Amino acid sequence: MEPGDADVKTRVPSQLKTTPGVTASGQHAELKVLVAPLVPYPRIAQQLREEGTVVVAMEIGTDGVPTDVTLVQSSGFGSLDQAAMQAARKYKFQSPMRDGRLVTAKVEVPFKFFFKRN
């Protein structure tokens, strides 16, 4: 099968409506996901049949945009890690509210890269 064929899948939590997080004060918060971009499977990773899960931590500002993105768990493949990090920077959340004010938060999001098995 050639790279780019339909057997290649990237699973991200784009279907999630909320994701668990923690506010700056350490309180649990559910962050509503407003934008979860599709993550392209890197061509080199397709060619080498590389698969794995990347976990990315995002610091979310009061505007819902990631202010800092950190690799928490590597897939073991740089191209997959980079694709996940780039996608994470494009996320947008509805920031949680505490006492009537928007607050910053932190979330961890897994990105799963795998080949569809028949």
27 SS3 class: coil
44 SS3 class: helix
pLDDT tens digit sequence for 17-52: 667 777 767 788 788 888 888 888 999 999 999 999
The band of 115, judged by pLDDT with boundaries at 50, 70 and 90, is confident
Alpha-carbon span 92 to 74, nearest angstrom:
22
75 pLDDT above the threshold of 80: yes
* Phi, then psi, of 74 in degrees rounded to 5: -80, 150
Domain architecture of the chain: domains with CATH: 18-112 (3.30.2420.10)
At 9, the amino acid letter reads: K
Under DSSP, the state recorded for 82 is H
